[in-house]
A and B are shown apart, each in its own frame.
Chain A
Amino acid sequence: MSYFARDRSWHPPALFPAYKTSVKRSPQAAPVAMPQTMSELTAPVFGHAMIGALDNDLIRNFSPTGEDALGPRIIVYGRVADEAGRPVPGALIEVWQANAGGRYRHAKEGYVAPLDPNFGGCGRTITDEEGRYEFRTVQPGPYPWPNGPNDWRPAHIHFSLLGRAFAQRLITQMYFEGDPMIWRCPIVASVPSREAVETLIAAYDPLATIPMDARAYRFDITLRGRRQTMFEGRP
């Protein structure tokens, strides 16, 4: 049993000069191919017991007073499956994001937009037996960042995924359908094809929207799939 080779031409290249920080942080030698061993075929798996009741509710999980965070209320939900279409149950999803004004709660962040005292910006959950997950949060704002003289990030939520194998480890970002900033962003542009970028854009889902409460966005995630034949490894 092993995981399908990663299609590196589908992912951003290490060096993407329009994203300036990548210039001095991109390995220049090609990565060395090696077979997967137990080190790559295993991963830590965390039980649902680790997850607190508010861990996937960014509107409430930081608030010291119990008041809700400010901003457009949204549900982000979806399914984690592998490349072969099998659901990935038990996957740990960690998310982080700016607040509705585009400000991160971080010592190194200096954007003029104010912090929200009721918003921390982190959440986590574990996928269920069918690979499903959901979060409640506020829609993050776009914000300027020091790259070009006037670059802005589209609204986005960062996603970290830990599946069944360390070979599946992945960090990515989710964008919002219809945002014109997506197609102007150098970090988005590091993804080589429009087809691949489109898989990072969550679709507005009017049916899952909770009336008079929160809109819904659907973001399905695909982790590496695995080959599983009885002949594999047979000399």
Chain B
Amino acid sequence: MRGASYAKETPSQTAGPYVHIGCVPNFCGIGGVYAEDLGASMLRAGARGERITIRGAVLDGFGAALKDALVEIWQADAAGLYNSPEETRGAADPNFTGFGRKAGDYTTGEWVFETIRPGATPFPDGRMQAPHVTFWIVARGVNLGLHTRMYFPEDQAALKADPVLSRLEHQSRAATLIAARTGPAEYRFDIRLQGAEETVFFDC
């Protein structure tokens, strides 16, 4: 208890199997209510930086892809700035939202984000973090949204110095946060909910 003058956060409940209706209605065939699903496109012409593709799936404890997951990403622009009123270090690229939202394919569970490679951002103590993309995952059977990060495999020096990765008790688990490079400007990031290679999720 924090004391009587504070309210408690509203408790989480699962997003359930029909999260598409509320969050990506056009994806699930409910057209005509919103012009476009929120987070469907992250960049406009003129966006600065290297365009990249991130694809992946969320896998359950049997290794099967979830067919009903909703995945959101949030990231800095190419200069390491967030397109948010809370950003105090400068003005982010107006042609890049930093926010993406995708549902897994009904058949394969796969999702794809077309985005840009983020710049590095600072840790609270001023050290730089390796460039990363924040992921937030909800689905049927997930009782509280799962928060994780994706890093880039070619940033070897920055990964070694990263203040978040270096605090992991089991250093072997850092690999679960590093995407695989599958082609020029193409990455794959699978999120495993259970098992020996369970993805690291954060409490922050």
Contact = CB atoms under 8 A, between A and B. Distances in A.
Main secondary structure of the interface of A (DSSP, over half): loop
Interface string A208-235: 0000000000000111110000000100
A39 B60 contact: no
Q: Give the bracket for the number of chain A residues in contact with chain B.
A: 35 or more
Contacts of B168: 32
A33 B204 contact: yes
A26 B5 CA distance: 33
A167 interface: yes
Given A38-B76, A43-B84, A158-B15, A170 B10 contact: yes
Interface in B132-185: 132, 134, 136, 138-147, 149, 164, 167-169, 173
A90 B21 CA distance: 22
B115 interface: no
Contacts of A85: 5-7
Contacts, number: 274
A27 B201 contact: yes
A152 interface: no
18 contacts: A5-B203, A12-B144, A20-B141, A21-B140, A27-B199, A31-B147, A32-B167, A34-B202, A39-B149, A44-B83, A55-B34, A84-B6, A104-B18, A170-B10, A171-B14, A173-B14, A199-B8, A200-B10
A39 B132 contact: yes
Given A11-B143, A196-B8, A222-B7, A6 B84 contact: no
Interface in A22-48: 22-46
Contact of A83 (B8, B28, B136): B8
A172 B11 contact: yes
B173 to A, nearest CB: 8
B121 A35 contact: no
Given A14-B143, A62-B32, A108-B17, A196 B194 contact: no
A120 interface: yes
B124 interface: yes
A200 B12 CA distance: 9
A30 B173 CA distance: 13
B29 to A, nearest CB: 7
Interface in A81-132: 81-85, 92, 94-97, 104-109, 120-124
A77 interface: no
A6 B82 contact: no
Main secondary structure of the interface of B (DSSP, over half): loop
B94 interface: no
A223 B201 contact: no
B194 A27 contact: yes
A183 interface: no
A96 B19 contact: yes
A83 B9 contact: yes
Contact of A225 (B6, B122, B164, B200): B6
Contacts of B99: 43-44
A25 B142 contact: yes
A105 B33 CA distance: 13
B49 interface: no
Contact of A121 (B21, B83, B136, B143): B21
A166 interface: yes
Contacts of A187: 13-14
B104 interface: no
